[in-house]
Chain A
Amino acid sequence: ELKVEQNPLFLSMQEGKNYTIYCNYSTTSDRLYWYRQDPGKSLESLFVLLSNGAVKQEGRLMASLDTKARLSTLHITAAVHDLSATYFCAVDKANFGNEKLTFGTGTRLTIIP
């Protein structure tokens, strides 16, 4: 059974600081996704990582994938309050055809002014 673990589960950080969220998964996969969820809202796609060594950046967020270590990281640079949300990673366990994602437990990020 595929397991996806995120840490930390809760993260409170000051504006302007840098931090990293980690996503470990238990089985081979080359496809990993990051989503953002605001309270009471749906999930919004942030990044799609499709190969070992993939790195994607959008604003103050950067995601990377190491398939050998079965690890993805979401790095936050110079955090601002607008980044407060819950962040989920998800791993595609389908070997072919339609995607079938297994989600991590999420990391609730709170940026303190």
Chain B
Amino acid sequence: DGGITQSPKYLFRKEGQNVTLSCEQNLNHDAMYWYRQDPGQGLRLIYYSQIVNDFQKGDIAEGYSVSREKKESFPLTVTSAQKNPTAFYLCASSKGDGELGYGYTFGSGTRLTVV
């Protein structure tokens, strides 16, 4: 079955560490996205990518970095510059073409905690 896989499900980061969250999709979707969700809050866009080797900053990109070397993969690195990284991170993909309104398919999320 096609879908999006995020790993790990839970991740603990020490102060000053960089950590990388994995997101892989086998839906053949062109676009991929990373969102951050804080408790009781909505989703805020961190980065998005519409094609391989290209990505754009979202609303809260500071302290994060991404790469898109393969269509299937869009890893997110939370760097030590991100001062408050504890949150639930959601990866999503889209078939594209907003005219047809496919919407997003979401992964199951990674819960990151600073210890």
Of the candidates B48, B90, B106, which one forms a contact with A100 in the assembled complex, judged by CB atoms under 8 Å apart?
A: B48
Of residues 78 through 110 on chain A, the ones whose CB sits less than 8 Å from some CB of chain B are 88, 92, 94-106, 108
Q: How many A-B residue pairs have CB under 8 A?
A: 70
CB distance B90 to A43 under 8 Å?
yes
**Closest partner residue, chain B, to A95 (CB atom):** B98
Chain B residues bordering chain A, tally (CB within 8 A)? 28
Of residues 70 through 114 on chain B, the ones whose CB sits less than 8 Å from some CB of chain A are 90, 94, 96-99, 101-109, 111
Of the candidates B30, B35, B103, which one forms a contact with A45 in the assembled complex, judged by CB atoms under 8 Å apart?
A: B103
CB distance B90 to A99 under 8 Å?
no
Specify which chain B residues have a CB less than 8 angstroms from the CB of A103 in the assembled complex: 35, 42-44
**Closest partner residue, chain B, to A4 (CB atom):** B42
CA distance A108 to B42 in the complex (A): 11
Chain A residues bordering chain B, tally (CB within 8 A)? 28
Specify which chain B residues have a CB less than 8 angstroms from the CB of A108 in the assembled complex: 40
CB distance B50 to A97 under 8 Å?
yes
CB distance B50 to A42 under 8 Å?
no
CA distance A14 to B31 in the complex (A): 40
CB distance A98 to B103 under 8 Å?
no
Of residues 25 through 43 on chain B, the ones whose CB sits less than 8 Å from some CB of chain A are 30-31, 33, 35, 40-43
22 contacts between A and B (CB under 8 A): A31-B101, A33-B103, A40-B111, A41-B108, A42-B109, A43-B104, A43-B106, A44-B106, A48-B101, A48-B102, A50-B101, A95-B98, A96-B98, A96-B99, A97-B50, A97-B96, A97-B98, A98-B30, A98-B31, A99-B98, A100-B33, A101-B103
Task: Name A residues whose Cβ lies closer than 8 Å to a Cβ of B.
Answer: 4, 31, 33, 40-45, 48-50, 88, 92, 94-106, 108
Known contacts A31-B101, A104-B42; 4 additional CB pairs below 8 A are A33-B101, A41-B108, A92-B98, A94-B98
Task: Name B residues whose Cβ lies closer than 8 Å to a Cβ of A.
Answer: 30-31, 33, 35, 40-45, 48, 50, 90, 94, 96-99, 101-109, 111
